[in-house]
Amino acid sequence: MTDIQIFKQLHHQDEPLLLGNVWNVQSAKIYKKLGYKALATSSSALAHSLGYEDGEEMSFGEYFYMVERILKSVDIPLSVDLEGGYGKTADEIVSNILKLAAIGVAGINIEDSVVINGTRKLLTKEELHKKLKPIFSELKKNAVEIFINLRTDPFLLGIENPVDETVQRIKIFEELGVDGIFVPCITSEDDIKTIVNASEIPVNVMCMPGLPDFEALKKLGVKRISSGNFLNEYIYNQLEDTGRRILSEQSFLPIFV
């Protein structure tokens, strides 16, 4: 089976797929060593590693280079967080997806919100349909095989009635033919159950302080779990703490104890 076929299959098993979210070759190799079945880039973590803020500040060319390096370092499926698509037109976004598919990327994430002047805004359902329909049509025309996980942001943006809004958006996703639905910042078991039961499409949730444990998520029907940029932040917080101790203690002992 190809990586794409394996990746799709991992979304239709009893155990939820736990993704290793990566930002460079080192992080990818560690997840592979630990036995993770698949990886996904964290656009935020990767952008920060290159000196950019999240929100498509880095160029697609820079991103593509890093993705290619990660792919060459491991032999398990890799999905790429494409944010809004790294293009202003459907043709540009499709071109980016075709390039990723050509080097063996198994999946992508696309968001239903956009960042304008530093502020994230949820696309209206009409804007969303207008943006995505030509992209999906062109991918189908080109017979592109890649797992498309559509991120929907009502919970992330804290809008009113996020469950109802998410369920309404799922209807658009089903019409488009997405492979997965990503709902970041959802934590309530009742909310997760409602979203999972709203569609046959596999649902992806993300690391949050109040997120139920993996066994509870499995019982709720969640099929994919990711950590976003939280492990990256955790690692660099640890680096800062250790660096501070080295300065204060005037010794490298904090690295070894």
At 198-240, the pLDDT tens digits run 999 999 999 999 999 999 999 999 999 999 999 999 999 999 9
Mean pLDDT of 180-207: 98
pLDDT of residue 80: 98
Spell out the residues 6+ positions from residue 157 whose beta carbon is closer than 8 angstroms to its own: 113, 120, 122
Q: What is the pLDDT of residues 78-119, one digit of tens each?
A: 999 999 999 999 999 999 999 999 999 999 999 999 888 888
Q: Residue 150, SS3?
A: strand
Q: Using 50, 70 and 90 to split pLDDT, how confident is the model at 257? A: confident
Task: Give the integer Cα–Cα distance in Å for 84 and 164.
Answer: 23
pLDDT of residue 181: 98
pLDDT of residue 119: 87
Mean pLDDT of 119-123: 92
Spell out the residues 6+ positions from residue 115 whose beta carbon is closer than 8 angstroms to its own: 55, 56, 84, 121
Torsion of CA 5, 130, 141, 143, to 10 degrees: -10
Give bridge partners of residue 206 from the DSSP assignment: 226
Q: Is the separation of the CB atoms in 172 and 136 below 8 Å? A: no
Percent of the chain with pLDDT over 70: 100
Bridging pattern class, strands 78-81 and 224-226: unpaired
Q: Using 50, 70 and 90 to split pLDDT, how confident is the model at 175? A: very high
Q: Is the separation of the CB atoms in 18 and 57 below 8 Å? A: no
pLDDT of residue 250: 98
The residue count for the chain:
257
Q: What is the pLDDT of residues 123-135, one digit of tens each?
A: 999 999 999 999 9
pLDDT of residue 210: 96
pLDDT of residue 118: 80
The alpha-helical segments, DSSP class H, found in the chain are 3-10, 25-34, 43-49, 60-73, 90-102, 125-141, 162-176, 189-197, 214-220, 230-249, 253-256
pLDDT of residue 10: 98
Nearest alpha-carbon partner for 135 in 107, 177, 104: 177
Task: Give the integer Cα–Cα distance in Å for 178 and 201.
Answer: 8
For 182, the enclosing helix (H) or strand (E) is strand 180-182
pLDDT of residue 223: 98
Q: Using 50, 70 and 90 to split pLDDT, how confident is the model at 30? A: very high
